[in-house]
Amino acid sequence: MSARPRLDSRAKSHLSYFAYASHRFSGLLLACFLPLHFLMLSQSLRGAQGFEQSLALTDLWVFKFGEWALVILLAVHLAGGLRLLILEFGPWNGLRKGWIQLSTLFGIACGLLFLYLAN
């Protein structure tokens, strides 16, 4: 696979570039987060008490903010990925710009719902 083609500012201001960039950005951060998430959950091997000690770390505001951001990234990556799958395997074609806006709104909605429920 070669390097990406160079894109000018006109191409980069297109909504589909935003969809591409947000899918990549969210995917990259989620991939970096996954091993840490699994490492935290594997602390359950130490029993409920040991697990609770590790979970106490997540009370720090940095982790709380991280959790919130990751839920948004997960929602954005899910919605963006579904759009891609439907474009590639479904009967639709074209850029489906409305779906890009919808996936952004879905990410925002999930972020707000998280804030509401987590109190």
Partner 1 sequence: MGQALNQGVMQAKLWYAQRISAMVLGICVAAHLAMIFYAIRGGLTAQEILGRTQGNVLFAFFYEVFVLACFIHAPIGINNILQETFPRSGIAKPTACVLGLLILVLGSTAVVGVYSGGTL
Best CA proximity match to 22, nearest among 92, 78, 68, 90:
78
CA distance 12 to 64: 32
Token pair for 83: 């759009």
Choosing from 15, 58, 65, 108, the residue that interacts with partner 1 (CB under 8 A) is 58
Position 111 contacts partner 1 (CB under 8 A): no
H runs (alpha helix) in 7-96: 9-12, 15-41, 47-55, 61-89
Name residues contacting partner 1, limited to 23-42 (CB under 8 A).
Answer: 24, 27-28, 30-31, 34-35, 37-39, 41-42
Residue for token digits 């570039």? 17
**Smallest gap, in angstroms, from Cβ of residue 65 to partner 1?**
14
Coil, helix or strand for 36? helix
Per-residue contact flags (x/-) with partner 1 for residues 73 to 102, judged by CB under 8 A: -xx-xx--xx-xx--xx-------------
User: Can you give the binding site for partner 1, defined by CB under 8 A?
Assistant: 1-4, 24, 27-28, 30-31, 34-35, 37-39, 41-52, 55, 58, 71, 74-75, 77-78, 81-82, 84-85, 88-89, 110, 113-114, 117-119
